[in-house]
Amino acid sequence: MKKTPFIDKKTAEEIDAAYPTPFYVYDEAGIIQNVENIKSAFAWNKGFKEYFAVKATPNPFILKLLKEHGLGVDCSSLTELMLSKAAGFNGDDIMFSSNETPAEDYVLAQELGAIINLDDITHIDYFDKLCGLNETMSIRYNPGGVFTVSNGIMDNPQDAKYGMTADQIYEAVKIMMSRGVKHFGIHSFLVSNTVTNDYYPMLAAKLFELAADIHTKLGADISFINLSGGVGIPYHPDQEPNDIFVIGDEVRKVYDEILGSAGMGDVAIYTEMGRYVLGPYGALVTRAIHEKHIYKEYIGVDACAVNLMRPAIYGSYHHITVLGKEDAPCTDTYDIVGGLCENNDKFAIDRKLPKIERGDYLYIHDAGAHGFSMGYNYNGKLRSAEILVHPDKSFELIRRAETPQDYLATFDFSDFTF
Ligand SMILES: *Cc1c(COP(=O)(O)O)cnc(C)c1O
């Protein structure tokens, strides 16, 4: 599918004049449309709720927007809980799916009334002593082995640190029932970034069967199944995007088949998507500031891997459009590089693009999830600004860029002179 930026060169210039590059932009209209599609795809399920994975895009302005459109949040740390609280979330609008959880994180989650998703059987005692078990508790399942979806998409749950074994799941339910827990949720996250419609239906079938068996054998009330995240997006224009309506409908079929026939037709479906909700609706905009002609042709930009880490650590493809040259022929081959003293700091390698001049804006697509949020400060580089582009194309600063003072703020300089 052809990739089209949601801002043009003129808008980039206007934003740049107020908040210089590099900066992130987010497309409010696109986000809203996508959220509405997700809700309608699962509207057949009365209790359906998408808990947006905060770690993907931890910005309270974005979270507030999602709240206005009926989403909950999935948090995994103290500060994600604090951001969510600030954005107005509480109670069962918060899913707390953490692992190796510090006590203070559990305490805040409990204070906010969040649904607690326990990653391990040993966390039952840990959480019980700390906060007391709730009437509704969620548990995270790891089936082990290899989980194969389709088209060679698979992962190895056996090597993943998350969740409990099948035996432990039954044991956990028994223990918690004996301590007064009345309702259970089952959660599992097996494969990331699945660009196929098959992942959720296959995962759902596995979890529904487990839920029906637990219900039969232990008499436990299963109130929800959490399919977690992992629905992917096509980073490359050659990839076929997922169809959320097909996914919703296929999950409905296995739901009717397995839960419906087990008399469990009131189980709610929850999801915790991050990438699918926000990924395509955010972009990193950076300027070409240098060109270099050695053994290869380089364009040096003012963003670097601290602003978007995925290409450097996963070798991920992110499509790039040179703003104002959307329809120009791709006559040149470049490595597009940032300024870290690390040779993996390349947004693109041997990429065919229109001829780039210094000063051109490069729009790096699909950075709306796991983009800004994975930022860091290596080489003393700073995090960029984040800007929300409203449906009428006006724009709003939703996080200012870091300054050198922010970078230096955690040192005590009282014995130094500047
Ligand atoms: C990361 C994560 C998600 C979101 O994953 P996406 O790939 O962004 O959909 C959801 N739930 C949990 C527990 C996670 O760790």
pLDDT in tens, 363-416: 999 999 999 999 999 999 999 999 999 999 999 999 999 999 999 999 999 999
User: What is the 216 CA–ligand 1 centroid distance (Å)?
Assistant: 30
Instruction: Tell me how far apart the alpha carbons of residues 411 and 400 are, in angstroms, rounded to a whole number.
Output: 21
At residue 219 the predicted structure's pLDDT band, cuts being 50, 70 and 90, is very high
pLDDT of the residue at 417: 82
Whether residue 183 contacts residue 223, with contact meaning beta carbons closer than 8 Å, is answered with yes
Measured in residues, the chain has a length of 418
Neighbours of 121 (CB within 10 A): 16
Query: With 90 as the cut, is the pLDDT of residue 309 above it?
Result: yes
CA–CA dist 15, 215 (Å, integer):
55
273 close to ligand 1 (CB < 6 Angstrom): yes
Judge whether residue 418 has pLDDT over 80: no
Statement: residue 242 has pLDDT above 90 = yes
Is residue 272 lining ligand 1, measured as CB closer than 6 Å?
yes
Over pLDDT 90: what percentage of the chain? 98
Beta strand pairing call for 136-140 and 183-187 = parallel
Atom of ligand 1 nearest to the CA of 369: 8
CA 276 to ligand 1: nearest atom:
9
On whether the CB atoms of residues 159 and 137 are closer than 8 A, the answer is no
Q: What are phi and psi of 182, to 5 degrees?
A: -105, -30
Return all residues near 208 (Cβ < 8 A) that are at least 6 apart: 225, 254, 255, 258, 259
**Least trusted range by pLDDT, from 133-142, 154-163, 273-282:** 154-163
**What whole-number distance in Å separates Cα of residue 270 and Cα of residue 259?**
15
Residue nearest to atom 2 of ligand 1 (CA): 229
CA of 196 to the centre of ligand 1 (A): 17
Tokens encoding 365? 């697509």
Q: For residue 150, is pLDDT > 90?
A: no
As given in the structure block, the two tokens for residue 258 are 């397995």
pLDDT at 153 over 90: no
Q: Which two tokens stand for residue 287?
A: 């300027």
Sequence-distant (6+) residues with CB within 8 A of 101 are 119, 123
Q: What is the CA radius of gyration of the chain?
A: 23
Mean pLDDT of the 342-363 span: 98
- The atom of ligand 1 lying closest to the CA of 192 is 7
Q: Is 226 left (phi over 0), alpha (psi -120 to 50) or beta?
A: beta
Q: How many angstroms separate the alpha carbon of residue 230 from the centre of ligand 1? A: 6
> Percentage of residues in the chain with pLDDT exceeding 70?
100
- Find the 382 Cα to ligand 1 centroid distance in Å: 26
Distances (CA, A) of 389 to 69, 71, 124: 17, 20, 44
Q: Which of 74, 75, 276, 278 to mutate to test the pocket of ligand 1 (most atoms within 8 A of CB)?
A: 74
Closest residue by CA, ligand 1 atom 7? 230
How does the average pLDDT of the chain come out, rounded? 97
For ligand 1, whether the C-beta of 274 sits within 6 Å is yes
pLDDT band at 1 (very low <50, low <70, confident <90, very high): confident
